[in-house]
Amino acid sequence: MSPVPDEVRSLVQVTDLVVDFGETRAVDRLSFTLDRGAALGLVGESGSGKSTVASALLGLHRGTGAHVGGVVRVGGIDVQEASGTELRRLRGGKAAMVFQDPLSSLDPYYAVGDQIAEVYRVHTGASRRAARARAVEVLDRVGIPDAVRRARSRPHEFSGGMRQRALIAMALACEPELLIADEPTTALDVTVQAQILDLLHVLRTETGMGLLLVTHDVGVAAESVDDVLVMRYGRSVERGPVREVLGAPREAYTRELLGAVPRVDSPRRTAAPARGDVVLEAVGLRREFGRGKRAFPAVDGVSLTVRRGETLGIVGESGSGKTTLGRMLVGLLDPSAGEIRHGGDPAPGGVRAGVQMVFQDPVSSLNPRRAIGESIADPLRARGERDDALVRARVRALMERVGLDPAYYGRYPHEFSGGQRQRVGIARALAAEPRVIVCDEPVSALDVTTQAQVTALLAELQEEHGLALVFIAHDLAVVRQVSDRVAVMRRGRIVEQGSVDEVYGAPRQAYTKQLLAAVPALDPEAAARRRTARGELAAA
C-alpha cells in the first residue's frame, strides 16, 4: 500500500482521539496534525489531558485497560493497529518521548549513560562502546557538565534537573523524527531551561525533527514552537500560530490563561509582612555526599533565618543544593555540620512538629498503594483526630482549596496527572497546619491558573496563621511573586540574599543577572531576540 501523499507531509495525524480511563474521559474527540519539522505546543491547565495525548502518540495506552478511540498515525504507522515490532521501531527510533516525571523515569540500578546507550543500541545495533560514546555525547549536548564521568552515575546521584536532562539526552540519542516532550523543563532552572529550549530549537533546525511540546508554561511554548493547541477538559479550545494565539487570543479561556502568567516585571504582591519572630534558623549548614575522595559538598555553609509570616524564596540552578538544603531544614536529612534552630533553640535533629515539606517529586512522595485522601488525612489523624467524618470533611475542604475535585478522595496516585499529584502534596502539607512549610518546586508542574490559585492560597494561609514559607523554585517570576526575601544558590552556597526588590531590581552578582536574563518571555518575537542575545553572551 503506497502511502497517501498527505501522510508524507504530516508526521502526526490525530483524528477524533478519545481516551477513557474507566469513567473519566481524559481526551475527548481531539484532532490535530503536525508536519515534519514543525513544532506544536500543547498547552492547557493541569489535568486537561495533555500527557494522555502524548502517551497516545506512542501507543502507551495499549494493554492498560484504558479505552482509546479514534485514529493516531505517527510517521505513517497506525499506532493503535501496529504490530509489536512495528511499535517498538516507532518508539524511541521514530518518535521519542521525554516523560513528565523525570525523577522516577530512570532505572535506579543502572548508570545513566548505560541506560541511554541501551536505548541507542536497540535502534541502531551499534557496538557497546559506540553506544556509550554516543551516550556521553548526548549528555554533553544537553549540558551535563563533565559528561564522561557523570555518565557513570546512577540516577539518585543526579539532581532533579540533571535527571530531566538525562531523559532528554535519551530521547535525542537516536535522532528521532518526532520528539514528544512532556513538560521537559518543569524541573529546570531558567538558565538550563533556556539552554534546553535553545537546544531543542537548534536540533529542530539542524535535523528537521518535529516537536510536540507539552507544557503548561505559556512562556516556554512561546519560546519554542510555531503553533499552539490550547486544551481544556480533553478538548481543543484554540489552535493557531503561536504569535496569533498568544498575541491575540480568540477564546476567553486562552485570555484567562495568559492573564494568570506571572511575569518578572509584573507588579508583585504588596503587603510587606511585619517582621515576626524567627521560627527557623540555619547556621553554617553543610552536607556532603559520597565518601573519601568522591566526597563533595552539596550544601556548603548555608546560614539563613525564616521569620513568622514571611516567605523566603530560594532560587538557583539545577543541582545547586536547593533540595538538599530543604530536606535539612525540615529534619529529613542530617547535616554534616552546622545546626538548625526552631524558634531559637537548637533542635536535637530529626523531624519537628509544625514543619512540613512539599516534595519536588510528586510521584515518589505519594504511596502508590494508598488513596490520596488518606495521605492527605495523615497529619490530621497523626494529631489525634479520631472523628472520621470530620477528617474526611476537612480533607475534602483542603482538596477543594488546592483545586482538586473532592470526589477524588479514594483515588490512587497513578490515576492523577502530574499537576494534580503536586497539589495532593500541597494539601497534605497544609493539613498539618504547620508553622513552616518548605516547598520544593511546589508549582513547577502546575499550569498558570492553578499556580496562581495555589500561590494565592499560600499567601492567604500565611496571613491567617502567620505561616512561614521557604519557597524553592527555579521559576524566578513565581518566586518574585510570592517571596519577601530571596536567596540565590549556586554550588551549595548562597551567593546573594536580600529583599525581592534588591535582588530582582539591582542584582549584584553576575550569576543573578544571568538568571534574570534567561527568564522566558511571553512574546515569541522577544523570545527570538533574547535567544540570539544569549547565544552572544555565551559566545563571549
Partner 1 sequence: MSEALLAPEAGTGATAPAPASGARQFWRRLRTQRAALVAAVVVALLVLVALAAPLLTAVEGQDPSTYHPDLVDSGRGGVPIGSFGGISAEHWLGVEPQTGRDLFARLVYGARVSLGVAFAATFVQVLLGVGIGIAAGLGNRLVDQVLSRATDVIVALPLMVLSLALMAIVPSGFPRPVLVALVIGLVAWGSTAKIVRAQTITLKELDYVAAARLSGWSTWRIARRELLPGLAAPVMTYAALLIPMNITVEAALSFLGVGVKPPTASWGQMLTSADVWYQAAPQYLLLPAGALFVTVLALTVLGDGVRTALDPRAASRLRIGTGQKREGGA
Partner 2 sequence: MTGFLLRRAAGALVTLLAISVIVYAVFYIAPGDVAQITCGPRCSPAQVAQVTEQLRLDDPVYVRYWDFLQGVFTGRDYSTGTGTEHCDAPCLGLSYQSDQQVTQLILAKLPVTGSLALGAMVMWLILGVGTGVLSAWRRGRVTERVLTAVTLAGTATPVFVIGLLLMIVVCGQLNWLPFPQYVPFTDDPQQWAWNLLLPWLSLALIEAAKYARLTRASMLETLADDHVRTFRAYGVGERSIIGKHALRGAFAPVIALSANDFGSMFGGAVLSETLFGLPGMGRELVHAVKVVDLPVVVGMVLVTGFFVVLANAVADVLYAVADRRVVLS
For residue 341, the tally of other CB atoms under 10 A from its CB is 15
Q: Which does 51 bind (CB under 5 to 8 A by kind): ligand ATP, partner 2, partner 1, none?
A: ligand ATP
Here's the x/- map for ligand ATP, 103-142, by CB under 6 A: it reads as ----------------------------------------
- In 3D space, the residue among 23, 101, 104, 95 whose CA is nearest the CA of residue 65 turns out to be 23
Q: How many residues bind Mg ion (CB under 5 A)?
A: 7
Residue 487 carries which side chain, given as an amino acid letter? A
Task: Say if CB 498 and CB 465 are below 8 A apart.
Answer: no
Taking CB under 6 A as the binding criterion, the range among 7-15, 19-27, 204-212, 390-398 that sits at the site for ligand ATP is: 19-27
**Grid coordinates of 468:** 512561614
Here's the x/- map for Mg ion, 319-338, by CB under 5 A: it reads as ----x---------------
Is residue 128 a contact point for partner 2 (CB under 8 A)? no
Pick one of 418, 507, 520, 524: the residue that binds Mg ion (CB under 5 A). 418
Q: Which does 474 bind (CB under 5 to 8 A by kind): partner 2, Mg ion, ligand ATP, none?
A: ligand ATP
**Grid coordinates of 321:** 543544593
Q: How far is the CB of 432 from partner 1 (least distance, A)?
A: 6
Q: What angle in degrees, to the nearest 10, is found between the helix axes of 160-173 and 128-141?
A: 130
Task: Say if CB 200 and CB 211 are below 8 A apart.
Answer: yes
55 Ramachandran zone, left/alpha/beta (phi>0; psi -120 to 50): alpha
Spatial neighbors of 506 by CB under 8 A, at least 6 apart, are: none
Q: Distances from the Cα of 448 to the Cαs of 173, 218, 296, 444, in angstroms? A: 32, 8, 37, 10
Is residue 141 a contact point for partner 2 (CB under 8 A)? no
Residue 493 carries which side chain, given as an amino acid letter? R
Instruction: Return the residues of window 82-101 that contact Mg ion according to CB under 5 A.
Output: 100
Is residue 160 a contact point for Mg ion (CB under 5 A)? yes
Task: Report the SS3 class of residue 250.
Answer: coil
Instruction: Return the residues of window 14-73 that contact Mg ion according to CB under 5 A.
Output: 51
Residues at the site binding partner 1, with contacts judged by CB under 8 A:
58-66, 83-84, 87-88, 91, 327, 330, 332, 351, 353, 355-357, 359, 361, 364-371, 373-375, 378-379, 382-383, 388-389, 392-393, 396, 405-412, 414, 425, 428-429, 432
Spatial neighbors of 154 by CB under 8 A, at least 6 apart, are: 108, 109, 110, 111, 112
Taking CB under 6 A as the binding criterion, the range among 70-78, 141-149, 154-162, 267-275 that sits at the site for ligand ATP is: 154-162
Question: In terms of CB distance, is 202 or 351 closer to partner 1?
Answer: 351
Question: In terms of CB distance, is 191 or 320 closer to ligand ATP?
Answer: 320
Give the chain's radius of gyration (CA, Å). Answer: 23
Which stretches of the chain bind ligand ATP, using CB under 6 A? 21, 24, 26, 46-52, 100, 156-161, 187, 189, 216, 289-290, 298, 316, 318-324, 360, 414-420, 445, 447, 474
